[in-house]
Amino acid sequence: MPAMENNAQFVAWLRSVAPYIHAFRGKTFVVAFPGELVMAGALPVLAHDLSLLHALGIKIVLVHGSRPQVEEQLGLRKVQTRFHNGLRITDAAALECAKEAAGEIRLDIEGAFSQGLPNTPMANAAVRVISGNFVVARPRGIIDGVDLEHTGVTRKIAHETINAILDTGALVLLSPLGFSPTGEVFNLSMEDVALSAATALRADKLIFITETPLMTDAGGAEIREVSVHQAQAILGSGCLRADAAFYFEHAIHACRAGVPRAHMVPFSSDGAVLLEVFTHDGIGTMISAASLESLREATIEDVGGVLRLIEPLEANGTLVKRGRDRALSLPERENG
C-alpha cells in the first residue's frame, strides 16, 4: 500500500507541474545568487536544480555575487574595507580582490555544472557554461564628495550576443564585474547586473536566491505575492532589513522595466528554485508587474475549465442546471 500511495503521489505531482513545464519552455530566466550561497556549500545543489530547468527548455542566465569572498581576500591581505552609503569604495587593492574572488567563483560554478555522476541529477546533463565581457560598465564617480574609485554601475548588457548563446543551448554566466570601452574594470553589485540583464534580455523571470529569510511586513505577516504598487508601499514603510530591502528595490525596478515576475527565494530551503517555479504558492516573495487578480474575457479555449467549475455548483443546487448553449456564451476565436 505505501508503494502504491507513493506512486499515486508521484503521478499526481508530475501532472500538476506539467502546465508550468509547457508555459516555461523557451522562456528566459535570470537567476542571481550571492556569494553567501557559495560559502554555505549550496552551489552543487543549485547546479542540480538549474540543470533540471535547463533540461526542460528554460534558458538560464546566471549572475553570481562575491561580497563575502572579497571580504575574505581583503582580510588575508590586511586591507581595510571602506564603504559609503552601503557601497564599497573599490580602490586598487579591493579591485584585485574582487577580480580574484570572481575568478574563483566562476571556476567553482563551471565545476558544479560539469558534474555527471550516475544516480545524480547531473547525470547526462552536459550543461555548457559560457562567460565573457558581456557587461559594459561606467564608474559611479563621486558621491557626496567621496570618490568611489573602481566601484561602477552597469551601463549596457550585450543582449544580442547573450541571446545567441542561449539559443545554442548553453547557460550564460555573468560576474559582478564590468568593463569600460577603454578597458577599465569596475566592481559592480550582483543585484545591479541581474536587474540590467533581466531588463535587456526581456527575461520572463528575475529570480534572486537570497541569504535573507522569507520577507515579512510591518505586522509580521509573510510577503508572498504582491503587485509593484504594493511592493513599493512595503519598501517605503521601512519594515524590511537593509539587505532584504536592497533585493526588494531591484525586484521592483525590474518589474517596472518590463520583467513580468521577480522572485526573492531564501536559499536555506532545499530545492528553493524548483519549489518557487513549479508550485502554485512558491516558497518566497514574488512581485508581479501586472495585477495578480486581473480579469479577462473568456474565450472558446476556456470552455472545458468553465464547465468543470459550473458542474459541482449545479450538482449541489447552487446554480440552476441549463443547456450548455445558454450556460456558455463565449466569443469565437478569430482566425490568425
pLDDT mean values, one per 10 residues, the chain (336 residues): 76 89 96 97 94 94 97 93 89 96 96 77 79 97 93 97 97 97 96 98 98 91 94 94 95 97 95 93 92 55 65 70 58 44
CA distance 172 to 325: 52
- Name the strand (E) or helix (H) holding 28: strand 28-33
Give, as one character, the DSSP assignment of residue 79. Answer: P
Give the model's pLDDT for residue 295.
Answer: 46
Cα first-last separation, the chain: 51
Specify the pTM. Answer: 0.84
* Structural domains of the chain, ranges and CATH numbers in brackets: 12-288 (3.40.1160.10), 298-336 (no CATH)
| Res 305: pLDDT | 62
Q: Give me the pLDDT at residue 325, please.
A: 58
Q: What are the grid coordinates assigned to 150, written together?
A: 573602481
Q: Quote the CA–CA distance of 186 and 190 in Å, as a whole number.
A: 12
